[in-house]
Amino acid sequence: MERALAELQRLVELIGPNLYLQALVIAVVFIGIGKLADWLVSRAIGKLASRSKTDVDDRLVALLHRPIFMSFVLLGLGLAAQRINLPAGAAYITLGALKTIAIVIWYNMLRQLTDVLAQTARRNRSNKLVKTGMMALVQNVAKVVLAALAIYFVFLAWDINVTAWVASAGIVGLALSFAARDTLSNLFAGVSIIVDAPYKTGDYIILESGERGVVTHIGLRSTRLLTRDDIEVTIPNGVIGNSTIINEAGGPSEKHRIRIAVGVAYGSDMDHVIATLEQVAADHDEICTSPAPRVRFRNFGDSSLDFELLCWINRPVDRGRLRHELGVNVYKAFMNSGIQIPFPQRDLHVHTLPDGIQGSAD
């Protein structure tokens, strides 16, 4: 770059000794170079972008028009200002202003590019940030970072020492971190939950404390859970991030398995009992056929032979209702089939003492 500028300076000196004429030539040359660069971007790169299936690259090319052209124009004006040997104060103001204009132009372009990328990401409904509603937050954070970088480069453009500002910001940040320790803990836990995705909105989860419900909102500070009693529970992310969470809607499928335990009297036909339980599950429309329902013999109880009906349902939210319906249907089926459901029984044997022997009064 330095060699190119030195060569350009040597060429403009051939025009004549007039510094203002040389500065004008430099400015005109860089305007021409800017036009050429803009043409290359719009024509050559623009054609390649038009062949893609998405419009992101097309919009990026459209955003690059003005920044590329203006960058060469401002560079030419800066070199022209240096060529005419302005006084120190005037040169400082002129070059600082040109650099500031360039920073503002590129900042606006990057900010618009952030909006374009965010709009493109929102079209993908399966994106984690979109599903959790965090895309707006990420977009705003990106804009804040761009604004901070723009301010930093403006300070550099005007030769302002930013060391003291950075040190002051560090001290303020340290004080705020101690004051908002719990808030920051919840914030980082919320980011971790969004990235790791142990659960998502609409999932049924069980907390360590026993609450069970559907996740209605995942925010940076807290997660909201709606229980089966229509009570909303708000859990700080710092707490839920360090707890064991059971996600009933997780795994390869959202299907949930329910168990119906039932005991039958000793002497019952076990094959008939198994067939009856399987038929109860098969007759219910909301019981999944894949995986198929199954019956397992579990235990020789004190008063009963213990069986368990295992079947799958499509949604965990239906667990309570379907357990109720299956339990009622099992009882009716057993009554119709003559299968007895026993109750606990105890046999009491009374021994009569021989004649002449009396029990102790103690």
**3-state helix/strand/coil string of the chain:** CHHHHHHHHHHHCCCCCCHHHHHHHHHHHHHHHHHHHHHHHHHHHHHHHHCCCCCHHHHHHHHHHHHHHHHHHHHHHHHHHHHCCCCHHHHHHHHHHHHHHHHHHHHHHHHHHHHHHHHHHHCCCCCHHHHCCCHHHHHHHHHHHHHHHHHHHHHHHCCCCCHHHHHHHHHHHHHHHHHCHHHHHHHHHHHHHHHHCCCCCCCEEECCCCCEEEEEEECCCEEEEEECCCCEEEEEHHHHCCCCCEECCCCCCCCEEEEEEEEECCCCCHHHHHHHHHHHHHHCCCECCCCCCEEEEEEECCCCEEEEEEEEECCHHHHHHHHHHHHHHHHHHHHHHCCCCCCCCCCCCCCCCCCCCCCCCC
pLDDT tens-digit readout, 49-60: 777 777 788 888
Q: Does the structure show a pLDDT above 60 at 110? A: yes
CATH C-level class of 256-337 = alpha beta
| pLDDT of amino acid 293 | 95
pLDDT tens-digit readout, 279-301: 999 999 999 999 999 999 999 99
User: Residue 272: which pLDDT band, with cuts at 50, 70 and 90?
Assistant: very high
| pLDDT of amino acid 177 | 65
Q: Is the peptide bond before 354 cis (omega within 30 degrees of 0)?
A: no
d(CA 288, CA 313): 6
pTM higher than the cut 0.85: no
Residues 6+ apart with CB under 8 A from 99: 74, 78, 154, 157, 158
- CB of 5 closer than 8 Å to CB of 41: no
Distance of CA 260 to the CA centre of its chain: 37
Is 161-251's fold the same as 256-337's?
no
d(CA 153, CA 131): 35
| pLDDT of amino acid 326 | 96
Place of tokens 């004429």: 21
d(CA 226, CA 202): 10
Hey, which of 87-101, 151-165, 186-200, 214-228 has the most confident mean pLDDT?
Answer: 87-101
Looking at 3.50.4.10, 2.30.30.60, 2.40.110.10, 3.40.50.300, the CATH number of the domain 161-251 comes to 2.30.30.60
Q: Does the structure show a pLDDT above 90 at 73? A: yes
Q: Which amino acid is at 318?
A: D
pLDDT tens-digit readout, 23-45: 888 888 889 999 998 888 777 77
Length of the chain equals 362
Place of tokens 């995942």: 218
Q: Does the structure show a pLDDT above 60 at 1? A: no
pLDDT higher at 258 or 136: 258
Q: Where are the domains of the chain?
A: 2-158, 161-251, 256-337
Place of tokens 């606006």: 108
Averaged pLDDT, 66-94: 90
Averaged pLDDT, 126-130: 66
Averaged pLDDT, 230-259: 87
- CB of 273 closer than 8 Å to CB of 316: no
